[in-house]
C-alpha cells in the first residue's frame, strides 16, 4: 500500500462537508471542517481522503498492512485500501464548525406568536 500526502501550499484549509456518511461521528451535511495538511494521519483520526478523484471524509483504521476508510453511518460501506493500492490523504480533520442557524431533519420548528 502506498499512501501519499497531498502537496499543497495551504497548510490549513476550511472545507464544507457534503453528505451524511459521517453523521454518527457528529458531522452533518454543511458543517465546516478545518483540515491540517501537515499532520500525519493516524489510526482513528478523521481525514480527507481521495479515491478515484473523489474526495471524502472518513475515519482511518490501520489493520495489518491495510488502511480501512470507515464511514460513520451504517448506510455506507467501508473502503479497504489494500497493500497494492494507492491512497491519497489530503489532510487530517482537526475541528468542525456547525451551523446552528439551520434546522436539522429531526428538529421541530415551533412558531411562537
Note the pLDDT of residue 32: 93
Counting DSSP H helices and E strands in the chain, the numbers are: 0, 8
Note the pLDDT of residue 16: 92
Architecture per CATH, domain 2-97, reads as Ribbon (2.10)
Note the pLDDT of residue 41: 92
Q: What distance separates the 2 farthest-apart alpha carbons in the chain?
A: 63
106 has pLDDT over 80: no
Query: How far apart (Å, rounded) are the C-alpha atoms in residues 56 and 19?
Result: 9
Question: Which tops the pLDDT comparison, 34 or 1?
Answer: 34
Domain spans of the chain? 2-97
Spatial CA neighbour of 102 closest among 51, 32, 47, 44: 32
Average pLDDT, integer, range 66-81 = 94
* pLDDT tens readout for residues 5-50: 455 567 899 999 999 999 999 999 999 999 999 999 999 999 999 8
Query: How far apart (Å, rounded) are the C-alpha atoms in residues 49 and 109?
Result: 36
Q: Cβ contacts of residue 35 below 8 Å, gap of 6+?
A: 12, 13, 14, 15, 48, 90, 91, 92, 93, 94
Q: Show which residues are catalytic.
A: 21, 58
* pLDDT tens readout for residues 83-97: 777 778 889 999 999
pTM for the model: 0.78
Amino acid at each position: 500500500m502506498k499512501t501519499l500526502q497531498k502537496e499543497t501550499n495551504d497548510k490549513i484549509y476550511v472545507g464544507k462537508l457534503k453528505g451524511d456518511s459521517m453523521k454518527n461521528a457528529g458531522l452533518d451535511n454543511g458543517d465546516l471542517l478545518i483540515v491540517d495538511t501537515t499532520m500525519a494521519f493516524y489510526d482513528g483520526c478523521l481525514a480527507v481522503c481521495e479515491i478515484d478523484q473523489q474526495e471524502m471524509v472518513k475515519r482511518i483504521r490501520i489493520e495489518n498492512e491495510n488502511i480501512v476508510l470507515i464511514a460513520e453511518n451504517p448506510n455506507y460501506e467501508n473502503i479497504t485500501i489494500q497493500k497494492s493500492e494507492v491512497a491519497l490523504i489530503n489532510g487530517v480533520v482537526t475541528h468542525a464548525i456547525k451551523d446552528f442557524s439551520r434546522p436539522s431533519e429531526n428538529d421541530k420548528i415551533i412558531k411562537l406568536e
